[in-house]
A = this chain, B = another copy of it.
């Protein structure tokens, strides 16, 4: 039984487009997944997220484990039924939040013990329980539990860690039930190309349904991140999807698609929306800026999102300053529209074999200094 089918319909350099077949429908690639941390993409209804162009969303296992609990979600129809999202859902393993949010962690060969950041409860996650939790949530694309080593960890530590990750990947595969969703492995190894290669090799011997690049965008210089991606992606099997975790800066999306990445997720567009920062083709617009006080123009003149079609910068600024709920909703609609339209543009450009010129154009708008062209060539 194939849990995931990758259908690449066009390539342009390393960039590729097509679709990913999941048990809950197709995902157009390359794709950006809005993050629905706690069983909701903050402020929006599922059909709004879908209408904005998202085929798949991401759910956070750690958050849902802690509240309302996997058993509750399972009993209410899984995450799909619970939140009424019928399309595919990718879940993380819970590991990332264990390492970033929770207190008092203890890592051993078997798994990781940690305290809930909500109530201090002592909890444990192992490769097996991470799968069990994700299956309980009804995940279509599950992630293996991996360690997320602290940024700047020494090489020796990273090597031991990625070797354990490979053993955990094996255990995750063994733990998956027959009805379980697809399972993606996570390539680690920090910024060391030989460690990344070792991670690819170890995971490559397993029958995983796809690969994610982990441990990036955690503070390393951007060029280093790009280098690691450029070196690692070609080593991965071409018939399986490649997912870059936690990257959502528009320029990064454009560049990483050019390096062959298929899937992205990031809280950036939705979180920025909630802090009053709007994404545009010419960079960020900060609604708090007093020059928008009486500005009748939409956020972006050419934008066709609901927010831009109907509301002025002045109104959005007012709502944001007044901490009105509608502010977060309208800003989120705009930012997700921006990102998802960017992805649609990239798909079209690849299909028409003009990724390079499209990317140059987008990057020139975002980075008007001219660095754009240099970085691309």
Question: Which of A's residues lie within 8 Å of B, judged by CB?
Answer: 38-40, 42-45, 63, 67-68, 72, 75-76, 82-84, 293-294, 296, 310-312, 314-315, 317-319, 321-322, 324-326, 328-329
Oligomeric state, in number of copies? 2
B38 touching A324, Cβ below 8 Å = yes
Minimum CB distance partner of A325 in chain B: B43
Chain B residues contacting A314 (CB-CB under 8 Å) are 68, 72, 76, 82
Once bound together, how far apart are the Cα atoms of A110 and B367, in whole Å?
58
Could you list 11 A-B pairs, sorted by A, with CB under 8 Å?
Answer: A38-B319, A38-B324, A39-B318, A39-B319, A42-B324, A44-B326, A63-B322, A76-B294, A76-B314, A82-B314, A82-B318
Asked whether A82 and B315 contact (CB < 8 A) given A72-B294, A75-B296, A76-B296, the answer is yes
Once bound together, how far apart are the Cα atoms of A220 and B68, in whole Å?
42
Chain B residues contacting A84 (CB-CB under 8 Å) are 310-311
Once bound together, how far apart are the Cα atoms of A322 and B328, in whole Å?
16
A318 touching B75, Cβ below 8 Å = no
A325 touching B324, Cβ below 8 Å = no
Chain B residues contacting A63 (CB-CB under 8 Å) are 322
Once bound together, how far apart are the Cα atoms of A44 and B317, in whole Å?
17
| Distance between A79 CB and nearest chain B CB, rounded to angstroms | 10
| Distance between A164 CB and nearest chain B CB, rounded to angstroms | 32
